[in-house]
Structure 1
Amino acid sequence: MSNKDKILSSLLHAKLCDDCLSITSNVVPRQTVYSICRSLSESSVIARVRSNCDQCGKSKTTNQLLDENELITDEENHSLNIDSSEPSWYWEGNVQSKVVHHLVINGFTIRSVADTATRTAGKDIVAIKDSTELWISVKGFPEKSKHIQARHWFSGAIFDLILYHGENPNVQLGIALPDGFSTYGNLAPRIRWLKDSMPFQIFWVNETGAVRVE
């Protein structure tokens, strides 16, 4: 998917400023988002107006689709092929998006966000506040072999934190998980000993998108 298509996909259900659009679409640097959105605006595909961004809530220049039924791709001029099926709320990308929004409204600056759909290598979320970085490993909940696979994913998130701590013991650490699943809920208390020796936070995201931090 081209950067232009990523941006259009991200604007299907939200009105976003360039900063939040860069994070949501995983198109960097921000200047690339600005250039593409200016071109889309000149082509009357989107409107660029000053209003409150749906993600960060700030009054900024935002981007909004004018007609979702007339989306076009770049060079080939084919209709944008976006899967109409909505991923589950507990999909990793949705969990990641909600945590990013939570961090932004709580004063964090987002440094980077991994593309979970393409399994981009690196930290899932890197944010900074008051000169201290926060590195977060994000996991969703599996659709198949749920109990067994969820245990593997939980273990993977904890192992990510161990690697992060080894890379830089001065950063804050966190994992982000969908809330309400017994597998994760039962495993979390069993690693309290690790939180005592290597402090980290758990960002629980529920079905409504609310985030609670443990």
Structure 2
Amino acid sequence: MEDGFYQYALRKTDGFVFSDDGTHNDRVRRLVTQVRKMAITYFYQTPAAFAREFDQDDWVQHAMIHFFKCIETYDRKRPFDNFVRYIVKRRLEDQRRRLYRSNPETDTGADGRPSRFFSGISASIQRKAEADPAAGPEQDFLRKEAARILLKCVRQLEKVERMLFAKHEMENVSFRKLYDLVPGYAKSFATFKRWYQTNIFDRVKTCTRSRLPE
């Protein structure tokens, strides 16, 4: 994703003002590298338990998405690289706060620090599986088994695809917003919707149906 993003950023930032010296290629490459390192730093500063669902690549992807948004909102009133570093750092801080808010503290770990569990897509599916507490034991078992199978199928997707599936199917994020999150994945909005249906939704649907008991 980063190489493709670099090429996209190179085109879109032509003529932007930067604070450092060098060719345009060098400036953009250097800034992309800096943003990636910022994301990795935040990854290592969060509890290790988070890595099970929001790993290093997820942090990098999150940072690159906001880098892209900076390109779209840049007003040329300040150097672009300073603007990107400021915005991306704030968004990474926001992401870390969201992780902590959505993951209550559990028992203290062996290192003396509070351990936490990650309530990501796994927990979203689990909540849906437990949506009807009045259901009988058989229905309860089948619903939880379906949730387990669904989660297993979702985990077969690529990281970006898992993110898109979770946002659309679990968080009800619109296709238009999803399209804006992943520039370069499709040439048009209509193509993106078809790509999502074929490469993400249909794959998960087929996988889930093939594993469900008759």
TM-score between the two structures when normalised by the length of structure 2: 0.27
Structure number with higher relative contact order (C-alpha < 8 Å, ≥ 6 residues apart):
2
Structure number having the greater helix percentage: 2
TM-score between the two structures when normalised by the length of structure 1: 0.27
Structure number having the greater strand percentage: 1
